Structure formats: structure tokens, C-alpha cells
Amino acid sequence: MIVPSMADFLPTAVTRRQTLALLASAVASPTVFGQGESRVRLIVPTSAGSGTDATARFLQPGLGAALGVPVVVENMPGASGVLGLRTVARAAPNDMTLAVITNNLVILPSVMKGFPFDVNTDFTPITMLVTIPMVLAVNSKIAASNAKELIALLKEKPDAMNFGSSGPGSVAHLATEMFLDEAGVKARHIPYQGPSPMTVGLIGGQVDFATQGLSLFQPHITSGALRAIGVCSTKRSPAAPDLPTMAEQGLPNLVCDAWVTLLAPKGMAPAMVKKLNQAAFKAFSDPALKQEIVRQGSTVTLCSPEEAQATIRQDAVRYAALVKKIGLTPL
């Protein structure tokens, strides 16, 4: 089985309607955005098909319609997100090169030697976009259907099982390390360059288990290719109400959601930051789009640039403490 394309994730009616709105606005007012920019680049530092990629593509039509210019999504996987972030960090403030990225942004400085950015100063936060629940799942051939059974397997065969991640230091990697630490077990880490290749490896049996966003794993859980163990949230997801949390299964400290944020290069003018923030709010105002985002298990978490900056600062400290607690060695 292969990972579905983005056409499988996006509601057709919403996409068509918003795309028509984008084209109409672009033709009617090609320089509404401010200084004659021809397009906006949304850099996604993961492969196509990931929860982050889905969020960017949900944002794309409405953002373009609100700004009056085309918006292009560019996937730049590699180095756990550093390649895509570098493109944004090197862009001029008025280049309209933006990043859509998860909280990998605030985890990487603690787990990667020589991480090349200061997350508090090298980017301009625009807004948080969504929060995506993380789900731990196993390959369908693994004889475990809950946390207790998976932990028993891991204890029975120390170091014999492996787990995949979307890259070293990713939120998916950290969530699984938290599981191993909470359960007092070990497994070998097999990193991939992005969530979609990792999902293919998990379905194919190259790795035994992994943690990833519910929106990416859900179709494969439904088909039976993967078996869900539990969600790493404080409460069950409305998109999968029968799936228990890890806390319900005796791991109360295993709480690790993924948030997705919109970033610009540092030094962007406050007026442009405000315009982008307002455009993001307008893009996610479509009721049908919001319903589809909720259906996939995510929660819209739009906020002010100041609130986004505060979340980034707070979570950078929080995840640094978590990395220290579970004893991850920077690579």
C-alpha cells in the first residue's frame, strides 16, 4: 500500500470553491498584497502527504484569495526540517517566503548539534494554525492492540524491535522516545526523511511501530494496514473517539501533540505581519474547511503573532527539559 496523495486528504468541493475565489481575486487585484509581489511561497519542510503538508494545502487557496496573489506550496524535506527552514531564514523580509512547520522547530535545538537557527530571533511568527493529535501505531503483523501488549512485547525481546520517525529530533521521534521512557523499555530508532516515507516503511514492516499525526495514520488504521495503540493527547480525538489516550492506558505523562505554525523571515514589517495574520484568519473562516480539518482530528488554533511567539518561547523551554529528562543525546 502507498501513502495517499493530497487529493485524498482535501475535500473536493472546498478546494474547487476556494481555488476559484483565489483566481478571481488574483485577476481582479494583482497587487492587492502591497508591493507588486507575484506570489507567496509556502515552504513545507516535510514530504507531501504529511499533516503539515495537509495544513499548508488547506491554507493555500484561502490565503491567496485574501492576499490577491497566487500561493505556491513547496515541499522541502530533509534534515528534520532544517533544509526548508534555511530557505525561509535566508529570504529577505519582503520576499514573501513563508514556512509552515510543526513544533519540530522548538525541539531541534535540543537534539541536533549545531542547529543553525535561533528559533526566537531568526523568524517572524505570524500565527499558530492547527494542533494535530499524535497517535502511536504498530504494523498490522505486530501482536499488540494496546499499550500493555506492546510494552510486554518490548520487554520480552529487549532491543529486538525498532521504531520509525519522520527524522531525528522530530516531534514524532520525541513522542516515541517519551513512550519508551514512560514504559521503561527500549527499541532501535530508524529515522526517515519525512512522515510519508516513514509511514510506507511502517506499513511495509521495515519498522515495527511509530508515532505520527492522526490525519496521516487514520486512513491506514481504517484500512487495517496499521493498528492504533493510543493517542498522545490529554483527551480522545473527536475524529477517533474509540481510540484511548496513552494516559488512559497507564502512561499519564505521555502527552505530546504537534502544533503547526506559520513563520516569515526575520525583520518583516509589522504592517505586513498583521496583513498575513488577518489573511490566515480569513483563509480558515470557511465553515466547510473548518469541518474538514476537525474531521481529520486537528483543531484550528489561530492566534496573534505575539501569542505565537509566546508559544514558541515557552515550548522551546518545555521540550528542552523533556529531552534532558529522557536522556536524548544530540546528534
* Residue range 252-266, pLDDT digits in tens: 999 999 999 999 999
pLDDT confidence bin for 3, thresholds 50/70/90: very low
Tell me which residue range forms the domain holding 320: 6-130+258-324
Residue 52 near residue 260, CB atoms below 8 Å: yes
How much of the chain is helix, strand and coil, in % rounded to 5?
45, 20, 35
Domain count, the chain: 2
Average pLDDT for residues 105-117, to the nearest whole number? 90
pLDDT tens track for 137-182 = 999 999 999 999 999 999 998 889 999 998 888 889 999 999 999 9
Q: In what order do the strands lie in the sheet with 123-132?
A: 71-75, 40-44, 97-102, 258-265, 123-132, 299-300
CATH of the domain at 206: 3.40.190.10
CA 115 to chain centre: 19
Q: Which helix (H) or strand (E) holds 212?
A: strand 209-213
Average pLDDT for residues 104-116, to the nearest whole number? 90
Domain boundary among 225, 256, 287: 256
CA-nearest of 68, 111, 51 to 276 is 68
Give the whole-angstrom CA distance, residue 12 versus residue 57: 12
In sequence order, the 6+-apart residues with CB closer than 8 A to the CB of 20 are: none
Domain-located, residue 331: no
Written as one string, the DSSP assignment of 134-164 is: EEEEEETTSS-SSHHHHHHHHHHSTTT-EEE
Grid cell for residue 203: 506499513
Residues 209, 113 share a domain? no
CA-nearest of 35, 5, 19 to 70 is 19
- Higher pLDDT pick, 331 / 3: 331
pLDDT reading at 233 higher than 50: yes
CA-nearest of 46, 260, 26, 226 to 145 is 226
Reported in sequence order, the residue ranges of 23-160 that DSSP labels E, i.e. its strands, are 40-44, 71-75, 97-102, 123-132, 134-139
Residues 302, 243 share a domain? no
Average pLDDT for residues 207-219, to the nearest whole number? 93
pLDDT tens track for 24-70 = 443 333 334 444 458 999 999 988 888 889 999 999 999 999 999 99
CATH of the domain at 53: 3.40.190.150
Average pLDDT for residues 294-311, to the nearest whole number? 93
Grid cell for residue 76: 522541502
Domain boundary among 222, 256, 290: 256
Residues 252, 263 share a domain? no
pLDDT confidence bin for 7, thresholds 50/70/90: very low
Residues 193, 44 share a domain? no
**pLDDT on residue 21:** 43
Grid cell for residue 117: 537557527
pTM over 0.85: no
**pLDDT on residue 13:** 37
**Looking at the DSSP assignment, which residues form a beta bridge with residue 228?**
137
